[in-house]
Amino acid sequence: MSYVNAPIHDLLIRVKNAYMARKTAVDWVVFSKFKLEVLSLLKEYHFIKDFEIVEDWKKKLINIQLNVVRDPVNDIPEVKFYSKPSRPWYVGYKDLHSVAGGKGIGIISTNQGLMPTHIAKQKKLGGELIAEIY
């Protein structure tokens, strides 16, 4: 496996590319707790169907099951990145807005953990804006 400089970017792009190729699964994603939190948000908001942790020898890997693409315009998610490894993007709660008219979620890392932007705005929390998915 190769070294990835931005693992969350890699995860979200792999999910988007699998949807574009009409795949039903993304296999062998390298495990991390942060990726697990991102995947649980994607599952909660129905961007993915499910995920499971697999132990292969001494490595932990994640297998992701995707929803079936029926309508390519509405079922394939768009991803917009804000933070990068070279430039973190910090926002206050007043700068948070709804994503795609409420159809998408923004992923923000706060001092209370990873959460969608609309919940962070309700709790009046700012943090590092990772990405928006809609």
78-134: CATH topology is Dna Ligase; domain 1 (3.30.1490)
pLDDT band with cut points at 50, 70 and 90 for residue 51: very high
Range 1-76 classified under CATH 3.30.56.10: no
Alpha-carbon dihedral angle through residues 92, 78, 7, 52, given to the nearest 10 degrees: 110
Cβ atoms of 99 and 111 within 8 Å: the answer is no
Q: Mean of the pLDDT values across residues 40-44? A: 98
- Residue whose C-alpha is closest to residue 131's, from 106, 97, 104: 106
Q: What residue segments make up the domains of the chain, in order of their start?
A: 1-76, 78-134
Parallel/antiparallel/unpaired status of strands 90-91 and 59-65:
unpaired
pLDDT on residue 61: 97
Q: What is the mean pLDDT of residues 48-67?
A: 96
Instruction: Render pLDDT for 96-131 as a digit per residue (tens, 0 to 9).
Output: 999 999 999 999 999 999 999 999 999 999 999 999
Task: Report the C-alpha gap between 69 and 113 in whole angstroms.
Answer: 31
DSSP state of 108: E
pLDDT tier at 2, thresholds 50, 70, 90: low
What mean pLDDT is reported for the chain?
Answer: 95
Q: Which residue, among 23, 68, 31, 33, has the nearest Cα to 53 in the 3D structure?
A: 31
**Mean pLDDT value across residues 36-51:** 97
**Positive or negative, the Cα torsion across 102, 105, 110, 112?**
positive
- Residue 57 is predicted with a pLDDT of 86
